[in-house]
């Protein structure tokens, strides 16, 4: 089997405006890093459009219809004080970003691929049940998780998030679902203000391990070793979905953690190891944040390299 790279040219057409940190160059930076010969075994496929049925498993149909009908023909339309933007290219990009995660789940669950990385935007983990925020329109990881359950019979699905910002949307969507698990390391306090250790979900299915500004490799690895990984093993998922944000890197302009490329390789290896123990190595990774282009490209490459080595 192989590692899939699921992407699409439409991700370059989601226009967020000049100087916006979540910009098309993020995709280009990762593409450049993955053009190295060491990634020649990646199998690149085009992301399909997610269907309404796939989206509305975790977002209300009214929210889906709102985003569809509010797509502008020419100008940019802000949804939340200018952080989250709609442009003429946003609708297709959003559908394909969710569609990438769904397609990756199909391939991994049906054993046509060992694992997958979705090189897609807009990101998703801040998108709540019926609210766009934090650069996110649809919650790609959550859409993928509910798809795995509905279509492939997965009984327990885990999302593990190492973005520097807490995935409030994924947490909110999973809160009342005992068969869904969400774990996050993130800087706190920081946008969006959620992610305290007391936020555990109705079925103790939420696991937050907040870090402080200035924390680096030691604190990050300790949070995973002592909090996240034991909780993930206890949950024993049928599929591990990674919300792979690379903005905890020391060079990132939007936060104050001090991770580096080896930390992303390390955490990926740890998550792959748990997936091997619990669910036959089934891993789907979806891109979230990361806003220093050089750090983003190299960190994503370190992440994908471990995925490639795991089959």
For 114-168, write each residue's pLDDT tens digit: 999 999 999 999 999 999 999 999 999 999 999 999 999 999 999 999 999 999 9
**Number of structural domains the chain divides into:** 1
Beta bridge pairs of residue 5: 44, 117
Half-sphere exposure of 233 (CA within 13 A, CB side): 12
Report the share of the chain in percent with pLDDT over 90.
97
CATH of the domain at 91: 3.40.800.20
Across the chain, how many H-helices and E-strands are there?
Answer: 10, 10
Region 48-68: mean pLDDT is 97
Q: Which helix (H) or strand (E) holds 82?
A: none
The runs of H, that is alpha helices, within 166-228 are: 168-174, 217-223
Find the mean pLDDT for residues 244-268. 98
23 band by pLDDT with thresholds 50, 70 and 90 = very high
Please tell me the distance from the alpha carbon of residue 297 to that of residue 308, in angstroms, as a whole number.
16
Q: Which domain holds residue 32?
A: 3-309
Average per-residue pLDDT in the chain? Answer: 97
| CB 212, CB 186: distance < 8 Å | no
Least confident of 70-79, 95-104, 178-187: 70-79
Q: Provide the pLDDT for residue 80.
A: 81
8 A C-beta contact, residue 241 and residue 154: no
pLDDT band per the 50, 70, 90 thresholds, residue 219: very high
Q: What pLDDT does 12 receive?
A: 98
How far is the C-alpha of 76 from the C-alpha of 24, rounded, in Å?
Answer: 15
pLDDT recorded at residue 81: 73
The set of catalytic residues is 126
Report DSSP letters for 104-144, one per residue: HHHHHHTTS-SEEEE--SS--TT-BTTB-BTTBSS-HHHHH
**Using 50, 70 and 90 to split pLDDT, how confident is the model at 300?**
very high
Give the pLDDT confidence score for residue 34 in this predicted structure. 98
Beta-carbon-side half-sphere exposure of residue 83 (alpha carbons within 13 Å): 15
Instruction: Answer whether residue 10 shows pLDDT above 80.
Output: yes
Buried b (16+ CB within 10 A) or exposed e, 27-56: bebbbebbeeeebeebeebebbbbeeebbb
**Predicted confidence band of residue 109 (pLDDT cuts 50, 70, 90):** very high
Q: What percent of the chain has pLDDT over 70?
A: 100
Q: What is the pLDDT of residue 33?
A: 98
Residue 1's pLDDT is 75
Average pLDDT over residues 278-301: 98
Contacts of 253 (CB under 8 A, 6+ apart): 21, 291, 292
Contact 114, 308 (CB under 8 A): no
Q: How confident is the model at residue 311 (pLDDT cuts 50, 70, 90)?
A: low
Residue 240 has phi, psi (to 5 degrees) of -110, 120
Determine the pLDDT at residue 82. Answer: 75
What distance in Å separates the CA atoms of residue 233 and residue 200, rounded to the nearest whole number? 16
For the beta carbon of residue 133, count every other beta carbon within 10 angstroms.
18
């Amino acid at each position: 089997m192989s590692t899939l790279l699921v992407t699409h040219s439409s991700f370059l057409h989601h226009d967020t405006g000049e100087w916006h940190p979540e910009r098309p160059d993020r995709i280009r930076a990762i593409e450049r890093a993955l053009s190295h010969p060491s990634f020649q075994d990646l199998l690149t496929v085009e992301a399909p459009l997610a269907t309404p049925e796939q989206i509305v498993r975790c977002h209300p149909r009214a929210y889906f219809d709102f985003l569809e009908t509010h797509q502008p023909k020419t100008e940019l339309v802000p949804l939340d004080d200018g952080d989250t933007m709609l442009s003429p290219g946003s609708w297709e990009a959003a559908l394909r970003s969710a569609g990438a995660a769904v397609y990756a789940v199909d391939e991994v669950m049906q054993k046509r691929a060992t694992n997958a990385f979705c090189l897609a935007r807009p990101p998703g983990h801040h998108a709540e049940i019926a609210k766009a925020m934090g650069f996110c329109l649809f919650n790609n990881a959550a859409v993928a998780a509910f798809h795995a359950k509905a279509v492939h019979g997965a009984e327990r699905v885990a999302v593990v998030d190492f973005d520097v910002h807490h995935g409030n949307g994924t947490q909110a969507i999973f809160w009342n679902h005992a068969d869904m698990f969400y774990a996050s390391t993130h800087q706190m306090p920081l946008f969006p203000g959620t992610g305290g250790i007391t936020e555990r979900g109705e079925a103790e299915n939420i696991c937050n391990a907040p870090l402080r500004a200035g924390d680096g490799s030691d604190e990050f690895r300790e949070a995973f070793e002592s909090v996240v990984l034991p909780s993930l093993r206890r949950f024993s998922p049928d599929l591990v979905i990674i919300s792979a944000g690379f903005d905890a890197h020391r060079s990132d302009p939007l936060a104050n953690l001090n991770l580096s490329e080896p930390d992303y390789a390390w955490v990926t290896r740890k998550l792959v190891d748990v997936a091997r123990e619990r669910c036959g190595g089934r891993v789907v990774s979806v891109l979230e944040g990361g806003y220093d282009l050089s750090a983003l490209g190299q960190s994503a490459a370190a992440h994908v390299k471990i995925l490639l080595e795991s089959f």
